[in-house]
Amino acid sequence: MDFNRRNFIKSLSAGALAPSLMASSGRRIKAQAKQVLVIFEQGGVSQIDTFDPKPMANIIHRSPFKTIKTKVPGIHFTELMNRTAKVADRLTVVRSMYQKKASIGNSHPLGSQYIMSAGDPTGPVELPDIGSVIAHHKGRLAPYLPAYVHESTGEQSVFASRLGFLEAKDKAFAIKYGEVNGLGLSKEAIEQLLERRKLLSKLNSGLGKSTSDQILAMQTFSQQAEEMLINPNTVAAFDLSSEPDHIKKMYGPEQKELRQRADLYMLGRKLIESGVRYVCIDTKFRNIDNRYPGGGNMNWDHHDAIYSKTHTNIPGGGAGGGRYGIGTWPMMGSTDWAFSGLIEDMDQRGLLEDTLVCFVTELGRTPKINERQGRDHWTHAFSYAFAGAGVPRGHVVGETDKDGYYITSSRGYTIEDFGATVLEKMGIDNEAPIHTPGGRPMFIAKGGHAIPELFA
């Protein structure tokens, strides 16, 4: 995908027929967030090796990683989350997530799209990302930044992100590897742009009151694009070079080759602090210069050799090749450091007051080890973590059986419930439809209900 200035302006200034938002259904919305930061670790993070340890599981299938205490008495993670354990007092972990449709859970492209839209991706109408829905309802916080930024390094990112039936102005501003091109103009170019704007304003003045809503919308979008091109704060929002060393160390070590995940998580915080309404960091660790031999696709799809200390390319292996073992640096080593640093940094800056942070994955992994010493897809029970915007601190929601197969608490929560939670935190009623340009009412996170334990 070409992330250049022309495509960027086109994404902002295109679009004509806007869907209309119906009145609220009347139920009470507990708006507590102004912004949302979603950390999407694609592939299926193993819940029993991270947030939901099972020390009493069958020894044949038990995780080799020790169960450790967290900062909250009675809450335990595995030792792979040693740093995150120290910020558990800022989190609520939901251990009772599940997927309703196994057919979607068996497909990473569909599962990723499911996460992005919080709705069935196999339906008759293409659904927009939650970020686009929030951009549609809430607009921009900062005039020089898009409402929705999607860091799309993850394997399924390009496929999963959709605009659906919404306007082009609500489309994600997609970047990859944390890099953005085409923003920022020279002094001469800015002067030329402003002169052309004056000329266009004179021409537009002759349109008078007969100007259509579509033309007015185009003018607005063009002005927004112009503001992003000439405002130095736009480029600054994506620039990590000004971050102090002590802040960078909160997210990861100093060595550049080890900082891929660290820098992208830090970018998420910076974009939120700069005024982006909805940020999705959808990433994986890149094998630059073949530093990790055999690591051709280091997402979390650990069908093979999940506990390998190097790559997972084993003789007779299957779909899990190309990863590194879950305990290695490209996997939980970098993730634990970056996520704990993100939570600590955002809390110190006061950003957790009105920013909802979500750590999500499209599915879990089987409590049973397969014949290739890996763990396959598991949609019946997995874990998410939340922080900020009124989310209670130091809590666990839900529980699973001693081996981690099934939810044993009274209620499980779906991807639609996750979507409804995000929307309600933002003051948006998922029971009120949005109309497509053709007049069809569409519901976002249809059938979902906000997770009540995440509302203080």
Which residues in the chain land under pLDDT 70? 1-27, 182-230
231-244 burial: b if 16+ Cβ within 10 Å, else e: beebeebbebeebe
In eight-state DSSP terms, residue 127 is P
DSSP percent split of the chain into helix, strand, coil, nearest 5: 35, 15, 50
Tell me how far apart the alpha carbons of residues 4 and 316 are, in angstroms, rounded to a whole number.
43
pLDDT at 26: 63
Residue 375 counted as domain residue: yes
pLDDT at 130: 98
Residue 195 counted as domain residue: no
| Residue 347 tokens, joined | 């809390």
User: Could you tell me how many helices (H) and strands (E) the chain has, helices first?
Assistant: 13, 14
Q: Which domain holds residue 316?
A: 34-180+243-454
pLDDT at 398: 98
Q: What is the distance of C-alpha 421 from the center of its chain?
A: 14
pLDDT at 146: 93
Return the CATH number at 420.
3.40.720.10
Tell me how far apart the alpha carbons of residues 270 and 289 are, in angstroms, rounded to a whole number.
28
In 98-178, DSSP assigns E strands to: 148-152, 173-175
The angle, 0 to 180 degrees and rounded to 10, between the axes of the packed helices 108-117 and 415-425 is: 30
Residue 234 counted as domain residue: no
Please provide the DSSP assignment of 5-72 as one string: HHHHHHHHH-------BPPP-SS------SEEEEEEETT---GGGTTS--TTS-TTT--SSPEEE-SS
pLDDT at 204: 61
* pLDDT, tens digit, 9 for 90 and up, residues 405-417: 999 999 999 999 9
The answer to whether the CB of 97 falls within 8 A of the CB of 424 is no
Region at 80 (left for phi over 0; alpha for psi -120 to 50; beta for the rest): alpha
Residue 67 counted as domain residue: yes
Phi, psi of 409 (to 5 degrees): -75, 170
pLDDT at 235: 86
Residue 160 counted as domain residue: yes
Number of domains in the chain: 1
CB-based contacts of 428: which residues, under 8 Å, 6+ apart?
Answer: 29, 133, 134, 137, 138
Residue 100 counted as domain residue: yes
pLDDT at 392: 98
Please state whether beta strands 92-97 and 395-397 pair in parallel, antiparallel, or not at all (unpaired). parallel
pLDDT at 15: 36
* pLDDT, tens digit, 9 for 90 and up, residues 143-198: 999 999 999 988 887 788 999 999 988 999 999 988 887 665 455 554 555 565 66
| Residue 66 tokens, joined | 């020790």
Please state whether beta strands 355-360 and 364-365 pair in parallel, antiparallel, or not at all (unpaired). unpaired
